[in-house]
Chains A and B, each alone.
Chain A
């Protein structure tokens, strides 16, 4: 790429052609505030106008986030005119934004707050309206809450919903001051095609979108002496929770997390990784069964609840490609209220099963009516990573200095395969390790299947699996990428045997329930921590080698895909379609 030389604030700078003014300024240590642009998904609407700069020769001020540099350009980022405009713009935004910062879910982590500081805002000269409760909140979804009043119309949620997830639930409606981001016809979000992935929450610079907070439900259960409260944590929690306490992204904090949970008062601290291993046994055997018995192929993973819902809405005709396996969360729940209750002699009605997920869709999943195979809700309460962090802070726990704790038996033991479920390609890698072993009776020569790792949108690999021959597997994350694979299947052109789909970019490490910010850099670091857990921390790296898993089949389930498994660990799907509104 050709280099372009320009002058910013009297400093010469040479950057690649096509660089924006904002990026060019950053290279010489000038931070220009910005709210709406999101380079990672190529979203440059030029809408918020906070990043304006003066470009000599241009009539008006220029949105630096989107304006490309050109040879000889002269930019001023810090003139009276620029400062006045930025201040006024932020002042206008704040004048139409509830002044509830102190108890806002994004307090201290709000981009608008940060930008107000960056532009040196000192006053709001306009009346801040009374924000009426009516119509302000959309609590209809079990996963996501919308607060229309806090929305600053940056459009990032719209962009991610549209271009990354291709769900297009959130769109701007009305115009002018009436403009609001909402599902079509302003319908409640649970009546829309929303898949509850929560990527919109990660996109939101303010507190206009957030998870449905269930912290109080957990406190209530913990305070109830008649309840036996157990907890499971998804793989990626151990790679992300630390960020909420200032620990650098990519640090494994498994032991501190266990200690914190115990200190919060959970009766047993278990692990979703355990049931991830269980999932691999079931799912691997299902794949083999389909392959051998001429079942529907390619088979597609079903761990990701927003992917499942996406498929129900947009590819209802292809639902039989989905594995019938419940997700690890739900398998855990089902086992807790049967197997665990049985061996511990606890009445399952007294068990409160809590899960900690990097995911908002898991709340929705746990609420699905069919998820009650034990006769009780498989999982009672789902908290996101962020909610757990809030609980820990509320309890006054000094997380950073906590000693490492140990998981409880019998559902706390896991393999490296279980832990990499949290990264895109991880389920595939874990499954292949076990499938290979089951088919060939030997371990894969190299347990690391690197082609399915990383942030490339669609990945594939071909593995020779003994008598099954070459198996072509595909991995997609981000539903725009999933559509590519699904459209091939629909056209009958797919040559994959097995496909892993995760809704969120990067897989669960990029989940909508994770710490904010979540960006590609952070996603890579979190995934790295999981691969480290797999390769360096765990003693076993294959699900079928997990002793607790062996025990559960010996003592309770008897065999993969057996009668009990079928009853407790497998599920079915609903053809939902795209027609609105959806009323359950």
Chain B
């Protein structure tokens, strides 16, 4: 079938991955029968399994069949069902009970409810079989009162089954009696625990009791009892009918059959999914669940409800079965599966689940009653910025004691979310405790607004947006300069992490913060910069004039130090100038902002390479401290045959050469030829490709994964596509073909996606026999950049690691292993963003200044009082949904042929419209 308008083929249910990958056994009647009509159940094999068990099988045979099936308790414990029945069957006595646990209490879990409401007879049938197996004649379904429809349908089903002689006295004329009642639970989570459940049926306060005696020996009213979960019983009819071997045909070695999961959270397709045990987590999240909405990254999946644990991105390949999940620190539980994206805070999630357990603890045993509350207090403190050193260790100790010493499963599992988040996200805990920072932007006590919190340098975004609305652009500029020495550069090339956390994005689209920033610098009067007198005796040398080096220089100059910057190339700016093309970042913009830093009194010496023009030792003797920020100006090699041929460029090398010799390239003195292949998916690859296009080449980007996996900014990818550049996805280069010492083509292999790597992206796997050759004149390999640290003498005592970046001194964020040297920028982190380089610069300036003051026994630095800028608070209550304002751009071949800036900048009207969209999260209203 086709859709009438789009003419697209409408897939059949089995072609929709959400359904295709499921294996419906328990849910086989889902939506197919009227649950209030027993005939419809019978028509789909209903009660046939029970009939077989009652007429053809002995209790031992029934138990053996269940044992053979490998069925394990679906309520969470995973105890072999057959074994449980066997124990109860072995007990003597005329009175025994079969109980169903339908007290489904995990938040977000509704497997049992769905079965009870959609297929109630399956549970009744399973219970009768169990009763026959253990010799019981009475049973209860303990169903939470919050499930009125389930209770109604169960009641209807029980009555119908009795009417048909399938329940009650003399079932099917076999002489076997089984009476069934529904007991409504009052909604205490702990009553899902078997002994508490039984105590509750007895009419007492639902609290667990110690085991032994086990319920199979002394359960309800001290009689032998078995308690199984709804899903477990619903599996029984088909095991009877089709045999244990059939059941065990899917699943893993120790976990057989299928399991229903309640898939929910940050995932496209939510709902119940029934999959074979052992299905990888990634398959559930991505194939069935359809992945994470809004292009966000998967962070972790919470398995097993509030007492389960988290499985993080690096374990997306984990098969979901009892053993594997437990090994990872989670539990299958009753099957709750909550997907969390990068906007979830691990500490806050742990706090949330702990809060649930604290509220649901029955209060009987000490560790659960007192301990969980104390853990909650600590977690709450951490999320409120009141965490203390030692908190994590105390949480770990408490968690292990509470797990070890609590009376029942609730207490024993309550610390799981804490342990699992500490296990996988310890850094986030530390970030909260030591830096009062919540990277996910969740713990609201730790920040004023999520955008400011996301910004590595903490720019006060709502403030400058509010000032735009007030038409106070100079003040807005000043606000930006407080934290950012390069606002007009960042207004163009920042990767705007702020926007990914913008709350407005939860409703429609985030605020165009980057564009507004640029609007301010484009339209405001530049604040005047005056030289700052040198007031301190210590002198500082900075190697490298990129964003990290110049930020250190500015910050230290403001503090009264004499700073000299050494730059190897002819002009200052580092990666900004030499790597980013002018159509994205015009040269005069860079020059103006660097000139402002010079104006403070910072001296920048260009054309000066350390180790060549000046020996490092000279710097060491002339300066007190040296800051190393040489950037990452060398492209990573692909390691392919033919890489040495003429016409093979590294991405940064090409861009640097182009920026240094623009005229030569544009006049054709230098050329890439007609056809160019660019290898890679990052911003450098895109920059190189768009430059090559502008030089008239026919450009193809070769990328080994898919579009969503590209590290480049999405707007850059879109711009690339608009400019007619082809991107070949799932292609990896194998060999560079050459003729006469020059490139003639590139042979590639097509890839397909395999399992997940540690970054959560599917690993590309070569498709055998898919090789093809692309004829090209040049190849630009932009698969990564590494620093060139060859200027450092071997005896510098500055430790360099295997990624050719600096190692830091223990506990420091900027000091190298030689205390005289500090480092930052790409040479410290590997290829990274401008804003992170600026952040590194700020950090180093503080660290260097602090080191000096400590050495001199001086008081810590106090910033001079700044001019107070009152931030207006005018919030338009009427703020209707509206998409982000579009950035006006150059169009057509005008853009493809020139290096004029593509983005034209917001008009005043654009800016006001966009600024008005801001929700002002920074304002706290009483």
Residues of A whose CB lies within 8 Å of any CB of B are 44-50, 52, 60-61, 63, 66-68, 81, 84-85, 88-89, 92-93, 95-96, 125-127, 152-153, 155, 171-172, 174-179
Give Cα A88 to B404, complex, Å. 11
> Is the CB–CB distance between A179 and B369 below 8 Å?
yes
Say yes or no: A92-B374 contact (C-beta < 8 A), given A45-B210, A176-B369. Answer: yes
| Distance in Å: Cβ of A412 to nearest Cβ of chain B | 50
| Distance in Å: Cβ of B376 to nearest Cβ of chain A | 9
Give Cα A92 to B358, complex, Å. 15
Within 8 A of A (CB), among B355-414: 358-367, 369-374, 377, 394, 397-398, 400-401, 403-407, 412
> Is the CB–CB distance between A177 and B366 below 8 Å?
no
Say yes or no: A67-B210 contact (C-beta < 8 A), given A153-B363, A175-B361. Answer: yes
Say yes or no: A61-B210 contact (C-beta < 8 A), given A46-B365, A177-B373. Answer: no
Give Cα A141 to B365, complex, Å. 29
> Is the CB–CB distance between B363 and A50 below 8 Å?
no
Contacts of A67 in B (CB 8 A): 210, 212
Say yes or no: A89-B374 contact (C-beta < 8 A), given A176-B359, A177-B369. Answer: no
For B394, give the chain A residue with the smallest CB separation.
A125
Can you pick out 12 interface pairs between chain A and chain B where the beta carbons lie within 8 Å of each other?
A48-B365, A63-B210, A88-B401, A89-B401, A93-B366, A93-B370, A153-B364, A175-B362, A175-B363, A176-B358, A176-B361, A177-B361
Contacts of A66 in B (CB 8 A): 210
Contacts of B361 in A (CB 8 A): 175-177
Say yes or no: A88-B363 contact (C-beta < 8 A), given A45-B209, A126-B374. Answer: no
> Is the CB–CB distance between B404 and A81 below 8 Å?
yes
Give Cα A93 to B371, complex, Å. 9
> Is the CB–CB distance between A44 and B212 below 8 Å?
no
For B370, give the chain A residue with the smallest CB separation.
A92
| Distance in Å: Cβ of B371 to nearest Cβ of chain A | 5
> Is the CB–CB distance between B407 and A46 below 8 Å?
yes
Contacts of A47 in B (CB 8 A): 364-366, 407
> Is the CB–CB distance between A61 and B404 below 8 Å?
yes
Assess whether B188 is interfacial by the CB under 8 Å rule: yes
Most A-side CB within 10 Å, residue of B359, B362, B363, B394: B363
> Is the CB–CB distance between B367 and A88 below 8 Å?
yes
Chain A to chain B: the 3 pairs with minimum beta-carbon distance, closest first: A179-B363, A46-B210, A92-B370
> Is the CB–CB distance between B210 and A49 below 8 Å?
no
Say yes or no: A85-B404 contact (C-beta < 8 A), given A44-B210, A92-B366, A175-B362. Answer: yes
For A154, give the chain B residue with the smallest CB separation.
B366
For B358, give the chain A residue with the smallest CB separation.
A176
Contacts of A89 in B (CB 8 A): 366-367, 371, 401, 405
Assess whether B205 is interfacial by the CB under 8 Å rule: yes
Starting from the known contacts A48-B366, A60-B406, A153-B369, 18 additional A-B residue pairs (CB-CB under 8 Å) come to A44-B210, A45-B364, A47-B366, A60-B403, A61-B405, A67-B210, A68-B212, A88-B398, A89-B401, A92-B371, A92-B374, A93-B370, A125-B394, A175-B188, A176-B358, A177-B363, A177-B369, A179-B364
Contacts of B363 in A (CB 8 A): 153, 172, 174-179
| Distance in Å: Cβ of A53 to nearest Cβ of chain B | 10
> Is the CB–CB distance between B360 and A175 below 8 Å?
yes
Contacts of A60 in B (CB 8 A): 403-406, 412
Residues of B within 8 Å of A, CB-based: how many? 35
Give Cα A45 to B366, complex, Å. 12
For B407, give the chain A residue with the smallest CB separation.
A46
| Distance in Å: Cβ of B450 to nearest Cβ of chain A | 31
Fill in one digit per residue for B203-223: 1 if any A CB lies within 8 Å of its CB, else 0.
001010110100000000000
| Distance in Å: Cβ of A270 to nearest Cβ of chain B | 48
Most B-side CB within 10 Å, residue of A95, A152, A177: A177
Give Cα A153 to B359, complex, Å. 17
Give Cα A438 to B403, complex, Å. 69
Give Cα A68 to B209, complex, Å. 14
| Distance in Å: Cβ of A331 to nearest Cβ of chain B | 43
Say yes or no: A171-B205 contact (C-beta < 8 A), given A47-B407, A52-B405. Answer: yes
**Among A46, A61, A125, A127, contact of B209 (Cβ-Cβ < 8 Å):** A46
Contacts of A171 in B (CB 8 A): 205
> Is the CB–CB distance between A49 and B374 below 8 Å?
no
Give Cα A547 to B212, complex, Å. 61
Contacts of A153 in B (CB 8 A): 363-364, 366, 369
> Is the CB–CB distance between A85 and B188 below 8 Å?
no
For A93, give the chain B residue with the smallest CB separation.
B366
For B207, give the chain A residue with the smallest CB separation.
A172
Give Cα A177 to B358, complex, Å. 7
| Distance in Å: Cβ of B595 to nearest Cβ of chain A | 56
Contacts of A172 in B (CB 8 A): 205, 207, 363-364
Fill in one digit per residue for B168-195: 1 if any A CB lies within 8 Å of its CB, else 0.
0000000000000000000010100000
Contacts of B205 in A (CB 8 A): 171-172
Give Cα A44 to B403, complex, Å. 21
For B359, give the chain A residue with the smallest CB separation.
A176
Give Cα A171 to B362, complex, Å. 13
> Is the CB–CB distance between B362 and A179 below 8 Å?
yes
| Distance in Å: Cβ of A99 to nearest Cβ of chain B | 15
Give Cα A96 to B360, complex, Å. 19
Give Cα A102 to B205, complex, Å. 36
For B188, give the chain A residue with the smallest CB separation.
A175
| Distance in Å: Cβ of B436 to nearest Cβ of chain A | 20
Say yes or no: A85-B401 contact (C-beta < 8 A), given A68-B212, A177-B369. Answer: yes
Give Cα A81 to B405, complex, Å. 10
For B189, give the chain A residue with the smallest CB separation.
A175
| Distance in Å: Cβ of A115 to nearest Cβ of chain B | 11
Most A-side CB within 10 Å, residue of B372, B374, B406: B374
For B364, give the chain A residue with the smallest CB separation.
A47
> Is the CB–CB distance between A50 and B366 below 8 Å?
yes
> Is the CB–CB distance between B367 and A49 below 8 Å?
yes
> Is the CB–CB distance between B404 and A176 below 8 Å?
no
Give Cα A134 to B360, complex, Å. 25
| Distance in Å: Cβ of A88 to nearest Cβ of chain B | 4
Contacts of B367 in A (CB 8 A): 49, 85, 88-89, 92
Give Cα A45 to B211, complex, Å. 10
For A65, give the chain B residue with the smallest CB separation.
B210
Give Cα A66 to B208, complex, Å. 14
| Distance in Å: Cβ of A129 to nearest Cβ of chain B | 10
Give Cα A178 to B361, complex, Å. 10
For B390, give the chain A residue with the smallest CB separation.
A125
| Distance in Å: Cβ of B406 to nearest Cβ of chain A | 7
| Distance in Å: Cβ of A343 to nearest Cβ of chain B | 58
Give Cα A95 to B366, complex, Å. 11
Contacts of B212 in A (CB 8 A): 67-68
For B190, give the chain A residue with the smallest CB separation.
A175
Give Cα A395 to B398, complex, Å. 47
Give Cα A50 to B188, complex, Å. 26
Contacts of A52 in B (CB 8 A): 404-405
Most B-side CB within 10 Å, residue of A46, A84, A152, A174: A46
Give Cα A45 to B367, complex, Å. 14
